[in-house]
Amino acid sequence: MKRLIIIALLLFSCGVYAQDGIQFYQGTWKETLAKAKAEKKLIFIDIYTSWCGPCKMMAKDIFPLKSIGDKFNTNFINYKIDAEKGEGITIAKTYKVNAYPTYLFVNGDGTLYYTTLGAMPEQAFIKEAENAIIEFGDPKPLPVWQAEYSTKKNDKEFLMAYMKKRAKLRLADDYLIDQYVSLASKEELLSKETLTFLLQQQGATVDGPFFSFLTANKAEVAKLMGQPETSVNRMLSQYAAGDLKRAVAGKDTKLLEKIIAVRTTLSPGSNAAIDADETRMSYYAQTRNEPELIKALYKYSKSLLAFDKNSIKEADAQQLKSFNESVAAGQMKDASPEQIEMSRKYVGSIAATNYAYRVRDMATAAYKRVNDKAVLNEALSWMSVAAAYSDNFTIPEVTAGLLYKLGRKDEALKSQQKAIDDFAAIKMDNEIITMRLKNRLRDMLDNKPVWIDNEAATVAAK
């Protein structure tokens, strides 16, 4: 009898604990909308996939927390759905979801009020819920702005206010920026407040008016930014690289080549070929075209590995010299010796670290998207190069992935454990990265295909 009581208590306590976290409604999408409308609440939608590591991390470590349950169960109708199955396919398409996990907050009519994405710690997730609640209570929420857009799209003041509203919700504004630029005068665009806001949106299409404006007015833009013209070139090159998502979405090779041409023009010296090859590799990795990706990887590896290593040493030496002069001039007099030494190590290795990351990302593309063992072995040799330029924990992490995919499990486990130890050694309080590394080790032990992952969430957690 006593044993039965203990078991009953254990079952009861487990049941209570299970109720602490988010309670997800089990009805159909139509029923969920009706429930939200009846209760005058937003629907929180967790859009995930079965292969998404960060999705699993949130479901395991964040959703069950009492603080999360208290916030979400009180304020939302909670709903979760696989983006690749059943109604999830339509929902993901309707709301243009292309990264996982994505979190949507919509009303009973299906109107989007707020969106965010990626794995995040407890308090950050609660903050996102609060942002959604604020938007739902806004007297002029996003749906009202969207309704006004069709009749006011030629009104500069409206467009600027609309962009600011969307910026709060982390919604892309490329097309609105281009519309605004096409209506504004040069003097208006070169206003520091206006230009600063437009640049903060961090996006421009290579064939759009904003990109053309920046290209045609580099000197004045640089002066307003307080930066040399080369900084504007770097920014334009980054915009072009970011526009690759548009080419990927439409599988548009003509746009790909235009982006490559722009980046080649903007890149200094030997970087031109490297940037062009990197762009082509990224396109074929994202469009999952393995034959073309293999060609692009071999071409990129030649240009990247042939990069002048002396220029890396010279760049870091110059940075270190400037830093030491600053310290000698007393500019870090309030810093501790440990802080100064940490800063010295960082400043003196910026170029080397950036180079290591480019080599690592090249190998990652092979690890994620290629099954050819010869290519994977080649990528493993690239990681030796990356390791010579950086001791960052992601180097053994990617190395572990390659070893595992090649069937060298014991070596992979050691390398993954090294990644865990290296990250722990830097004492960075980041639960998301810690869980990513440990979950990867666990999946390797369970013989799961760890190379299937979500790029957006992985990049965000670097």
Burial class of residue 91 in the structure, from the number of CB atoms within 10 Å of its CB (0-12 exposed, 13-18 middle, 19+ buried) = buried
d(CA 36, CA 162) in angstroms, rounded, equals: 27
CA distances from 442 to 24, 94, 112, 421, 450 (A): 27, 35, 37, 15, 10
Burial class of residue 395 in the structure, from the number of CB atoms within 10 Å of its CB (0-12 exposed, 13-18 middle, 19+ buried) = buried
d(CA 415, CA 408) in angstroms, rounded, equals: 11
Helices (H) then strands (E): counts for the chain? 26, 4
CA distances from 417 to 13, 40, 312 (A): 34, 49, 30
The distance from CA 279 to its chain's CA centroid, rounded to whole angstroms, is: 17
**DSSP, res 427:** T
CB atoms within 10 A of CB 236: 21
Are 92 and 47 in contact by the 8 Å Cβ rule? The answer is yes
Structure tokens at 188: 């208006």
d(CA 392, CA 355) in angstroms, rounded, equals: 12
d(CA 189, CA 203) in angstroms, rounded, equals: 16
d(CA 283, CA 251) in angstroms, rounded, equals: 9
Query: Could you tell me where the beta strands, DSSP code E, fall in 49-133?
Result: 76-82, 102-106, 112-117
C-alpha closest to that of 304 among 402, 371, 389? 389
User: SS3 string of 257-316?
Assistant: HHHHHHHHHHCCCCHHHHHHHHHHHHHHHHCCCHHHHHHHHHHHHHHHHCCCHHHHHHHH
Whether the bond between 101 and the residue before it is cis, its omega within 30 degrees of 0, is: yes
Q: C-alpha angle with apex 232: 227 to 236, nearest 5 degrees?
A: 155
Q: Which residues are designated catalytic?
A: 52, 55
